[in-house]
Amino acid sequence: QVQLQESGPGLVKPSQTLSLICTVSGVSIRGGSYYWSWIRQRPGKGLEWIGYTSDSGTADYNPSLQSRVTISLATSQNQFSLNLTSLTAADTAFYFCAGSGKRMLKHWGQGILVSVTS
């Protein structure tokens, strides 16, 4: 079955760049018309869609984050990544990766807590 797993630092300093990786198993990230998303959830709060990339590498982002975010494929490792620049405390959140056909978020990683603190 399709499984996703996030990896990356749990602590990042303000103004730095967050880099997270999502490793996908059970399906090729370049096949089958999949869309690969990142979503975040601030502690105790609701869900915020960050953006997605298609299996061909075309990306779409939330305008609220667009100037700071990049989502890209690393096809040789069957992974996709999230880069978020100029971090502030407001970026402290659980970050989830997810994948599916377009229009839904079917398969999710377990999430990774990222704290932005000096």
Partner 1 sequence: DIQMTQSPSSLSASVGDRVIITCRASQSISSFLNWYQQTSGKAPRLLIYAASSLLSGVPSRFSGSGSGTDFTLTIGSLQPEDFATYYCQQSYTVPWTFGLGTKVEI
Residue type, 108: W
Task: Select the span of 13-21, 43-51, 71-79, 80-88 touching partner 1 (CB under 8 A).
Answer: 43-51
For position 102 contacting partner 1 by CB under 8 A, the verdict is yes
For partner 1, which residue of 43, 63, 88, 90 counts as binding (CB under 8 A)? 63
CB atoms within 10 A of CB 117: 10
For position 88 contacting partner 1 by CB under 8 A, the verdict is no
Torsion sign over Cα 23, 32, 67, 109: negative
Beta-strand relationship, 93-100 and 107-108: antiparallel
For position 104 contacting partner 1 by CB under 8 A, the verdict is yes
Instruction: Output the smallest distance, CB 13 to partner 1, in A.
Output: 26
